[in-house]
Chain A
Amino acid sequence: MFHKTKWLAAAVAGFTAIAAPAARAETPADTLIMAWSIDDIISLDPAELFEFTAGEIAGNSYETLIGYDPMNVADIRGKIAESWEVSGDGKTLTFKIKEGRTFASGNPITAADAVFSLTRAVKLDKSPAFILTQFGFTADNVDQKIRQTGEYTFEFEMDRAYAPTLVLYCLTANVASVVDQKLVMEHATEGDFGYGWLKTGYAGSGAFTIREWRANEVVVMERNPNYSGDAPAMARVIYRHIPETATQRILLEQGDIDIARDLGPDEITAMSENPDLVVEDGVKGSIYYLGLNQKNEFLSKPQVAQAMKWLVDYQTIADTLMKGRVIVHQAFLPRGFLGAYEETPYSLNVEKARALLAEAGLPDGFTVTMDTRNTPEITSLAEAIQGTMAQAGIRIELIPGDGGQTLTKYRARTHDIYIGQWGPDYQDPHTNADTFARNPDNSDDAASKTLAWRNAWEIPEMTAMADAAMLEADADKRAEMYVELQKRHQAESPFVIMFQEIEVMARRENVNGFVIGPSFSDNSYAGVTKG
C-alpha cells in the first residue's frame, strides 16, 4: 500500500532511546484488549464468515457440532453433538445432541437448531457453503437429506460414502456452527433466514457473546452468562482495529492493550528483549508457495519446475527475513494434518539447478514475471527469491499489485509466476489435496478453479488419487494415500512449496491462558486470566 516500512524502521531504530516507556496505564482487570487488523471482517454470520479474524471471533462465540482437541487434532469429539453413528452403507450419519444446554439467549439447544443451522447454510449458499454442499446437498434437497428424527437426534444423508473423518472435520468448520433458530427467525425477513440481521448480530452458545462490531474500528465480546462450560475469567474481550504494527507495539509497551496480534520482524526482535512482554507462537495451516503457470513456454518444462525448487534459500529466509514467522515446509499438507508429509528435500543448490536448466535446453536461463502482492512480507519474500533465481539465470520481473489485483489475474490464468499463501478451509487433508492436486477440468471455463487449474496443470491421475482418498473409510490407510500423493506432488508439481506459517503474538507478561490453536477458529481466550 505505502512504502512505509522503511520510515517505520528508521523511526523505530532511531528513537528507541527516547522511547523508553513512561509509567504504564493498566487495562481493566476483567477486560482483555487486543490490537489486530480486523478490517477483513465482512460478516459475523457463521454461514458466511470465512476470514481469519471473523473465524476466531466465531470460534469463541459459537459452538460447532463437532470439535477436536486443539493440541491433538486427531482427537475428534462432540461439541453440540453428544455422539454419532455411521450407517452400514456409509452414507448416513445419525447425530445425537447433548441435552439440557442452552444458547446465550436462554433458548434450549435441540436437534431442530442443528438441522436449521446446516440447512440454512446450504440454502443461503454463501462462500463457505461448499464445505457442506460437497456432500451432495443443494437448496432443493437439503430438507430431505438433513432431517430431524427426534427432539435430540437428526440424520445427515450424503450422496456417497465419504471418509467419516472428512465429514467430521468439515463439521468442525465455522459454517457448521449451531445458531439459535428461534432468535434468528425472530429477525428474519422475506426468506433470508435472518441473514440480514445475523451478519452483524449474534445467536450462539459459545463462551462469549458478540456485543458489537463497528467495521474497521472495534469488536466487543462479553462473557456468556448461559455458557455450559467453565465461565471465562474475562467479562469482556475487545478487539481494536490497529492497522499499523508499530502502533500496536507502542500500545502494548504502554500497557494500553494486553495482546498485539500483528508483528513484523523488527517488532518481534525488540519485544523479545522487553521483560514486561512475552512473545508466543503456534503453527498455523497456511502454506507459502510459488505457482508456475504451465501456459508459459519456459515454466511448462518439467526440468524448469525442478530447477526452481533448488533455487530458493529456504532456511535463510525462514531464519532471517521471516524471523520465526514460518518454518520450512515443502509438501501441500501442513504439519498437524492427517497424513502430513514433513520431508524437506530441497535446499538452495545453484549447480543442480543449472544442470537441470541445461537439460531443459535453457542453459542461459530465461525471463518471466511474478505477480507479487504489495504487502511488506510478500514483497521481501519475492525479492529474496528473485535474487537466488538470478544466480542460475532465471530473471524474474516483479509485478506488484494489491491483493485484489494479483488474485484477479491469478484466477484468469494470465500470470507467469504467482507468489501466494494458501490456508486450509477445514482441518481435513482433502481441503488442500482438493486444490493442489486436483484438476478435473483444465479448460478455460472450468467450474472448479483449483490451484492446479489456475496453473493449468493437467493431472488426471493425481485427481483420481485424491478422489479415492476422499472416500477411504480407514483413517490409517487414508493417511498413507495422502503421503503417497504428496511425495509425487513434491517431485513433479509446478508448485514450489516453501513454508508453513507460524502465528506470532506478543502479550503483557501478566496475561496468561491464550490458546493458539492450529487454525484461527481454534484460538481461544476463554481461559485467559490476568495476574
Chain B
Amino acid sequence: MAIATTTGGRSRALPLAWKAVKLIASVALTFLGLLFVTFLIGRVVPVDPVLSVVGDRASQSVYDRVYVELGLDKPLIQQFWIYLQKVFTGDFGESFMTKRPIIDDIIRVFPATLELATLGVILGTLLGVPLGVLAAVRQGRLADQVVRVVGLVGYSAPIFWLGLLGLLVFYARLGWVAGPGRIDISYEYDIAPGTGLLLLDSAMQGRWAAFGNIFSHIILPASLLGYFSMAYISRMTRSFMLNELAQEYVVAARVKGVPEWRIIWVHALRNAAVPLVTVIALSYAGLLEGSVLTETVFAWPGLGQYLTNSLQSADMNAVLGGTLVIGAVFVGLNLLSDLLYTLLDPRVRRRA
C-alpha cells in the first residue's frame, strides 16, 4: 500500500503535467530500449540476412549488391540510427519475405491475433473468475480440488497437442465447428475489407451467414486460448480471494449480518478486483503476442506465425515492426490497467 503523498493546493496542476511528461519519457525510453535490444539480437543471430533475400544460388555480384542495399556494410550503430530516423517518419521499411511495407503486413496479421486473443481472454475471464471465487470459498473441499485439477491440465498440457485433439474431436469427429483457417473460401469474398476483425466486419455489413462461419472457425482456437488464460486467472483469483476473505472487514460484515453472497461477490471480490485487473491485462497481453503453436495448428495467419517466420529468416524490419506492436500492446494495457485502478480503488483516486 502506498503512503499518502503531500496534500495541499501547492502541487495540484503541476504534478499532472509533470506526470504526463514522465509518462511520455518513460514510454519513449521503453520503445527505444526495446528496439535497440531487438536490433542487436537480430544482428547477433548467426543467420545471414542477405541469404534470406537472395537465396543460396545467387551469384556473388547479386549477393554483394543486396548486402549494400540492406545497409549491412555500415557500422551497427549507424544502421540503427538510419532505422530510427525512418521510424520517426513513419517508414518501418519493407519486409523482404512478403515484399510489402511492414505496416501493411502488421495491419493484415495483427487483427487476426487481436480477434482471437480478445475472444480468448473474455472466455478465460468469464470462466476463470467465478471458478477462482468458488475455489476460494470452498477452500480444500471437492470444488477446490476440481478447479485445481482443471487448471493444472490447462497449465501443463501442451497447447499444440490439445489443439490437434480439439480438431480431431470437435471438427473431424463431431463436426460441431469448422476446421483450421479463419473463414471458408466460399465466404472469403463476401466481406468487404474493413477493420480486419472478421467477426466485427461481417456483423457490421450484415453478412450473418459469413459471421456464423467465422464464429465457427474461431470458437475452437479461442476456447483453447481461453482455457489457458482461465487456468491462470482462476488460480490468481483464488489466492486474492483467500487473502480478502481473511480480512477483518469480512468478519465485521458477517457480524453485521450481511448475506454471505454479498460478502463474497461484492465486498471481497471488489477488493480482489484491483490486483486481478493486472493479472487479466497480463494474460491478455500474452495472448496478443500471438501464440505461435496455436496459430500453427489452426493455420491462423496471425502475428505469432509472422514474427516466427521473420525471425527465422532474419527479416529484421519485420521483427522490429512486430516488436514495436507488442511493445505498444504492453504499454497500452499497462496504462489501461492503471486507469482501471483509479476507477476501482478510491485510495488511488484520492492520491491523484
Contact = CB atoms under 8 A, between A and B. Distances in A.
A430 interface: no
A133 interface: yes
B168 A43 contact: no
Interface in B177-200: 179-181, 185-186
Contact of A408 (B48, B60, B165, B173): B48
Interface string B158-170: 1011001101110
Interface stretch (B28-36, B245-253, B293-301): B293-301
A254 B171 contact: yes
Contacts of A242: 180-181, 299
Interface string A1-24: 110100110111001001111110
A261 interface: no
A12 B161 CA distance: 10
B347 interface: no
A19 B312 CA distance: 34
B346 interface: no
B52 interface: yes
B164 A404 contact: no
Interface residues of A, number: 63
Nearest to B164: A11
Interface stretch (B9-17, B79-87, B95-103, B227-235): B95-103
Contact of B57 (A128, A133, A402): A128
Interface string A322-333: 000000000000
Contact of A216 (B61, B165, B305): B305
Given A243-B305, A402-B47, A4 B185 contact: no
Contacts of B139: none
A200 interface: yes
A27 B188 CA distance: 14
A33 B168 contact: no
B309 interface: yes
B46 interface: yes
A404 B161 contact: no
A409 B161 CA distance: 34
Interface in A409-457: 409, 411, 425, 447-449
A200 B99 CA distance: 8
Contacts of B105: 215
Contact of B51 (A22, A200, A404): A404
A216 B297 contact: no
Given A7-B161, A10-B161, A251-B180, A215 B172 contact: no
B314 interface: yes
B172 A22 contact: yes
B118 interface: no
B55 to A, nearest CB: 5
Contacts of A20: 173
Contact of A126 (B62, B161, B172): B62
Nearest to A131: B57
A256 B179 contact: yes
Contacts of B165: 11, 15
B226 to A, nearest CB: 20
Contacts of A250: 167-168, 171-172, 179-180
Nearest to B180: A247
B59 interface: yes
A513 interface: no
Contacts of B173: 18-22
Contacts of A238: 185
A28 interface: yes
Contacts of A1: 308, 312
Contact of B299 (A215, A244, A449): A244
Given A127-B54, A128-B57, A243-B299, A402 B312 contact: yes
B301 A447 contact: no
Contacts of A411: 48, 51, 56
Contacts of A27: 185
A448 B172 contact: no
Nearest to A50: B55
B175 interface: yes
B255 interface: no
A125 B61 contact: yes
24 contacts: A7-B158, A7-B160, A7-B164, A15-B169, A18-B168, A20-B173, A21-B173, A129-B58, A130-B58, A130-B59, A214-B108, A215-B100, A216-B305, A238-B185, A241-B301, A242-B180, A243-B305, A247-B298, A250-B167, A251-B180, A402-B312, A405-B47, A407-B48, A411-B48
Query: What are the nearest 5 A-B pairs in CB distance?
Result: A404-B47, A215-B98, A22-B175, A127-B58, A447-B60
Interface of B: 45-48, 51-62, 65, 96-100, 105, 108-109, 158, 160-161, 164-165, 167-169, 171-175, 179-181, 185-186, 292-293, 296-299, 301, 305-306, 308-309, 312-314
Given A215-B98, A405-B45, A405-B47, 11 more contacts: A11-B161, A18-B169, A18-B173, A20-B173, A127-B55, A241-B301, A242-B299, A243-B305, A405-B46, A408-B47, A408-B51
